[in-house]
Chains A and B, each alone.
Chain A
Amino acid sequence: MPHPYRDVVIAGVYNTPQARQLEGHDSESITFDAAVGALADAGVKPAEVDAVIGAHAQELVLGLRLGPCTRLPWQLGIPIVLEGADLVASGRADVVLVAAGGASMYSDRTSTAPWTRPANEFVVGYGLFTAAEFALMARRHMVMHRTTPEQMATVAATIRNNGHVNPDAVYYGRGPFTPADILASRMVADPFHLLDCAMTSEGGCALVLTNADRAADFSSPPVWILGGGSDSYGPAYQIAPAWDLVGRSDVPAGYVGRTAARHTFAAAGLHPGDVDVAELYDPFSFEIIRQMEAFGFCNDGEGGAFVAEGNIGPGGRLPVTTDGGTMSYSHAGINAQQLQRVIRAVEQLRGTCATSQVDGASVALCSNGGSGALFTDVLLLGTERP
């Protein structure tokens, strides 16, 4: 059976400027900037777009005069890239614009960001927020496997140092950091110090998917979708995020994303060892340790040692989150920051990263979500047609 995405390519990507706060922008306006940028990068005219996906899909259809047009106003990262690929693969669309942005969403700085503190009745009275939910997963891993704060701090220092050298990162020039610097920052939700956590920022991003037979028209080499998938164990921030929560299989919620990754590698005919660079979602330092285990880059319980041995840094066996991620590059709004993992992977495969480029990268793994939120999405991209 031919690969379902053998005729689908990512033809354009774009990140707007990112900042702690973007003066004069709201989420819609920065999403428009991102959309226009991605269309330009792909060399596609608005009139050629016949599907838009993203929280502002309907506004883009109107504002860019795309109608009549398929619109899917969904607020997710990797799943909407896969949805766009499905639209192209099934012939329901030829050119799909996927766009996201967040700005003017976070003003009351005495509280955590509004999207991090859901009002569900079983958690609202306990002052939980994203960092605390993810800490409950991290603590259990520490209990089971003696994972240490120092190992987590190694992750944070590695990713923050990727941002430190990246001129496009919100926290460009803020380092370099040692693990000791991470551990010296103030405690937010034990075991997470301030520098173990993602920042909050503003910005937009977009990408364009289209049919491979148009690839010759583009200025950049196409990037191919080798596989992808999504795991969820239920709604985030409503029930106890217990490591060993299970559903229909014996894979625990602590390894959410493992099933999706297995399907993804199988679809691509590849193995974790084939991945050259991993643009992983990094809301908290522990999540990288967990994903190393969940995705099969090391054995269960050995993620802490794996990252401490230098495997995830520049020149390591598996460079991770090379733009600085949500800790240092940007953590814009709700979904731009998730799509940005995909955009960085495309840039790695094009070989165009100004900093932390992995030489000759031909296979890149991306992820979104995390254990504390009970979902993880996985996407595998490559330079070769599947």
Chain B
Amino acid sequence: MLEPQPVGIPVPNPSPASMPYWEGCKRGELLYQRCNDCGTIALRPGTVCGHCLGRSLSWVASKGLGALYSWTVVWRPQRPSFTVPYAPGIVTLDEGFRMVSSIVGCEPADLRADMPLAVEFHPASDEIFLPYFRPRP
């Protein structure tokens, strides 16, 4: 069974631009950044819209529902603090953005393209909660 990683793995170091994202994760909210002018969703936190070059961006809460776009199952851990197997994946959120995460709550052999997923948050430290995704009916 794929499980969230225990505390002790390397922890993200937020930047000023990404701090709202990590604060959202701690509250149990998955935030994404959207242009107020053209509605384009940012590929990563920033200050300029990559589509219209507008400078007015807002953080918006996702419903946290999506589908599996691609995945791998890792058996040789990146470092010993990671427990294997684990399943990094790319999730397409219903709002139309993609993110890297890890899939939990199923067997590696059950992973399928386009399987429906829902976000959940697990602590990696006192400050950082990581979004994971679990299969949903």
Contacts and interface: CB of A to CB of B under 8 A. Distances in A.
Query: Do these two chains really belong together in a complex?
Result: yes
Contacts of B61: none
A126 B70 contact: no
A189 B5 contact: no
Interface string B101-113: 1100000100001
Interface string B68-106: 011111111111101000101110000000111110000
Given A128-B78, A239-B44, A242-B90, A136 B70 contact: yes
Interface in A89-148: 110-112, 116-117, 119, 121-129, 131-132, 135-137, 139-140, 143
Contacts of B71: 136, 139
Interface string A176-204: 00000000001111111010000000000
A240 B100 CA distance: 5
A112 B76 CA distance: 8
B98 A188 contact: no
A135 B78 contact: no
Contacts of B113: 143
Contacts of A329: none
A324 interface: no
B90 A240 contact: yes
A243 B79 CA distance: 26
A3 to B, nearest CB: 35
Interface residues of B, number: 39
Given A190-B73, A239-B43, A239-B44, A121 B13 contact: yes
Given A111-B78, A239-B43, A126 B72 contact: no
A352 interface: no
B130 interface: yes
Contacts, number: 119
A299 interface: no
Contact of B75 (A136, A186, A243): A186
Nearest to B11: A125
Contacts of A140: 69-70
Nearest to B69: A242
Contacts of A117: 78-79
B124 interface: yes
B90 A127 contact: no
A128 B73 CA distance: 10
Given A122-B44, A125-B128, A127-B86, A187 B73 contact: yes
B137 interface: no
Given A127-B86, A128-B100, A243-B70, A111 B79 contact: yes
B92 to A, nearest CB: 8
B46 to A, nearest CB: 11
A243 B92 CA distance: 12
B10 A189 contact: no
A132 B10 contact: no
Contacts of A192: 72
Contacts of B70: 136-137, 139-140, 143, 242-243
Contacts of A245: 43, 98
Interface in B43-63: 43-44
17 contacts: A119-B10, A122-B12, A122-B100, A124-B10, A124-B12, A125-B10, A128-B88, A132-B72, A136-B70, A136-B88, A186-B75, A188-B75, A189-B76, A240-B100, A242-B70, A242-B98, A243-B70
Given A192-B72, A240-B99, 8 more contacts: A111-B78, A126-B88, A126-B130, A128-B100, A132-B78, A132-B88, A239-B43, A239-B100
Q: Which 3 A-B pairs have the closest CB atoms?
A: A135-B72, A121-B12, A111-B79
